[in-house]
Amino acid sequence: MPAASSSPEVSRLLDHLFRREFGRLVAILTRQFGVEHLHLAEDVVQDALVRAMQAWPYSGVPQNPTAWLLQTAKNRALDHTRRRTLWRGRQSKLIPLVEDCLHSALTASPPQFEDEIRDSQLRMMFVCGHPGLPVEAQVALTLKTLCGFGEREIAAAFLASEAAVTKRIVRARQFLREHGVAVEMPLAAELASRVEMVLQALYLLFNEGYKASHGDSLLRLDLCQEAIRLTELLAAHPVGQRPVTDALLALMYLNAARLPARTDGEGALLLLAEQDRSRWNRSQVAIGLRHLASSGAGPSVTRYHLEAGIASCHCLAPSFAETDWAQIVSLYDLLLEQDGSPIVALNRAVAVAYASGQRAGLDAIDRIKDRTALENYHLLHAVSGQLWFDAGDQARAASSFRRALELATLPAERVLLEKRLAQCRGSIRG
């Protein structure tokens, strides 16, 4: 029998398995039962993870945790099959399917055709990208069903309310159910039109790892690694072998290279100017730059090209003081033309401040279109506070930091904001 494990150890493992295995298991079950029973697939996988959380601290982590989850999910599916009236009359047919589907997932031979997607999670991303759904609904459904995102995380990505995201997901599931969408890979000719949605979902998956929207940790390395893994799989498939995929991989690798330096030994957030650049992963920088070079082969420049270009400016700068902020501002100008998001405009304002001074940055914030959408976004007030602080207006800085502190939820960000607020108070008293 495995030795009992500590609760923190089990929590870390389960968090990793949740992100890595949840979507894969849901994809396997949904493919067997049909998209109309997507909820059943999600429920039994969720139950398996809850059972693991309850059992493993006492019984120990199994030698093969994934196989344990597969078996438990299968058993839960059998329980549901036997007792739920909606399966009445189909029980005899469905029970063998449940028995076989998870076993086959572990023993299945590789795909036989070039058009097949090798990873079940990536396969289901293409299925969720049904053209009858709005792109935002496609991405929300993908993040919820296959990446394990909660409505809160998705809402943060879209600057929307949790209620709006929940409605979006419910309507998407209803559409798939009412139209009898098969849980099979679309034809090769249909795959190309869905790549954009898959790339957007992978981009948001990486971003949630690079800067979590909630929880105890600022960084979620497992999400970044999973996003890179899936994007590499997409890039290896004929339908995904395109410059835009290289651009996204460049962005991921260049940002992932800086992750080791984003926090100190105690997990406190370090701003770019405070980071030890010797801790940046230079091999990942090199991979990112190679993908960036490859991404230039196409005729179009996407947001991923521009964001990767910005990331490369940071990675190639010998020091913070030697950063080419003028070039970064020009890239943000182009990005703002493609994506008028107020978050992009806020990031541009930071670059403007470093290129032309704090007052110019504050003016850029004042000119943000749809700025009201950011009023409950803590980073708007944190950035404003830092610019007022650097400009010497401690009273306005303190007011902005206080508002940011009211809105911030991540411990690492709150610690930094409290430190900045204390500095403002000290300067005012002095």
Write the pLDDT tens digit of every residue in 317-370.
999 999 999 999 999 999 999 988 999 999 999 999 999 999 999 999 999 988
pTM of the model: 0.77
Q: Which amino acid is at 124?
A: M
Measure Cα distances from 206 to 5, 182, 202, 419 in Å: 30, 28, 6, 28
Q: Which amino acid is at 99?
A: E
Q: What angle do CA 381, 260, 224 make, to 5 degrees?
A: 80
Residue from 341, 266, 331 nearest 304 by CA: 331
Residue from 91, 6, 92 nearest 56 by CA: 6
- Distance in angstroms (rounded) separating the CA atoms of residues 200 and 413: 26
Q: Give 109's contacts (C-beta < 8 A, 6+ positions apart).
A: none
Higher pLDDT, 98 or 214: 214
Task: Tell me the average pLDDT of the chain.
Answer: 83
Q: Are 308 and 335 in contact (CB under 8 A)?
A: no
Q: What percent of the chain has pLDDT over 90?
A: 42
**Structure confidence at residue 83 (pLDDT):** 60
pLDDT at 82 > cutoff 90: no
- Distance in angstroms (rounded) separating the CA atoms of residues 219 and 33: 36
Burial of 13 (0-12, 13-18, 19+ CB in 10 A): middle
Q: What angle do CA 349, 351, 353 make, to 5 degrees?
A: 70
- Distance in angstroms (rounded) separating the CA atoms of residues 174 and 159: 24
3-state secondary structure of 91: helix
**Structure confidence at residue 141 (pLDDT):** 87
- Helix (H) / strand (E) element for 416: namely helix 411-429
* Mean local confidence (pLDDT), 234-238: 89
- Distance in angstroms (rounded) separating the CA atoms of residues 271 and 277: 12
pLDDT at 266 > cutoff 90: no
Q: What percent of the chain has pLDDT over 70?
A: 80
Phi/psi of residue 63, each to 5°? -60, -35
Q: Which amino acid is at 382?
A: A
Measure Cα distances from 406 to 65, 377, 381 in Å: 40, 10, 10
Q: Which residues pair with 269 in a beta bridge?
A: 263
Q: How confident is the model at residue 239 (pLDDT cuts 50, 70, 90)?
A: confident
Higher pLDDT, 367 or 127: 367
- Distance in angstroms (rounded) separating the CA atoms of residues 21 and 146: 9
Q: Which residues pair with 263 in a beta bridge?
A: 269
> What are the pLDDT digits (tens) for 39-57?
777 788 888 888 888 888 8
Higher pLDDT, 184 or 413: 413
- Distance in angstroms (rounded) separating the CA atoms of residues 379 and 258: 20
Ordered domains of the chain (ranges, CATH): 7-107 (no CATH), 120-182+190-209 (1.10.10), 375-430 (no CATH)
Return the half-sphere exposure (C-beta side, CA atoms, 13 A cut-off) of residue 282: 7
- Distance in angstroms (rounded) separating the CA atoms of residues 63 and 1: 10
| Stretch among 96-100, 194-198, 219-223 having the lowest mean pLDDT | 96-100
Higher pLDDT, 168 or 92: 168
In whole angstroms, what separates CA 324 from the centre of its chain?
28
> What are the pLDDT digits (tens) for 5-41?
556 666 667 666 666 677 777 777 776 666 677 777 7
Most confident stretch, 74-88, 126-140, 190-204, 403-417: 403-417
- Cα dihedral 246, 324, 344, 202, rounded to 10, equals 20
> What are the pLDDT digits (tens) for 254-265?
999 999 999 888
- Distance in angstroms (rounded) separating the CA atoms of residues 296 and 236: 18
| Stretch among 55-69, 312-326, 392-406 having the lowest mean pLDDT | 55-69
Measure Cα distances from 383 to 137, 181, 212, 389 in Å: 31, 45, 18, 10
Q: How many residues does the chain have?
A: 430
